[in-house]
């Protein structure tokens, strides 16, 4: 799931983006825990990785789940 944190501005001037992992259902509003950041070395639009409480992912699992978008960038997981 792709979303954003309203009211928190990213360097690009838009709301801070987030990937919400751990569900495959459409969501309009969620709460979760930020476990990492996908840092784009060739772009200024980093993404938070947010999950439901109690869910854990390795860096490799995170990158696999966000590859649909991040394959376009030089991205790494930062904890």
Q: What CATH code is assigned to 2-78?
A: 3.90.80.10
- What pTM does this model have? 0.92
User: Residue 2 has what pLDDT?
Assistant: 83
Cα–Cα–Cα angle for 14, 54, 40, rounded to 5 degrees = 35
Give the pLDDT of the chain (79 residues) as one tens digit per residue: 789 999 999 988 999 999 999 998 888 999 999 999 999 999 989 999 999 999 999 999 999 999 999 999 999 999 9
Which stretches does DSSP call E strand in the chain? 2-9, 15-20, 33-40, 47-51, 75-78
Cα–Cα nearest to 51, from 21, 79, 26 = 21
| Helix, coil or strand: residue 12 | coil
pLDDT of residue 11: 87
Return the domain boundaries, the chain. Answer: 2-78
What pLDDT, on a 0 to 100 scale, did the predictor assign at position 24?
87
């Amino acid at each position: 799931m792709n979303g954003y944190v309203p009211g928190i501005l990213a360097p690009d001037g838009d709301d801070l983006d987030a990937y919400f992992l751990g569900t495959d259902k459409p969501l309009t509003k969620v709460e979760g825990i930020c476990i990492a950041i996908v840092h784009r070395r060739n772009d200024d639009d980093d993404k938070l990785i947010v999950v439901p409480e109690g869910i854990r992912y390795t860096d490799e699992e995170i990158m696999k789940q966000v590859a649909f978008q991040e394959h376009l960038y030089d991205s790494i997981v930062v904890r």
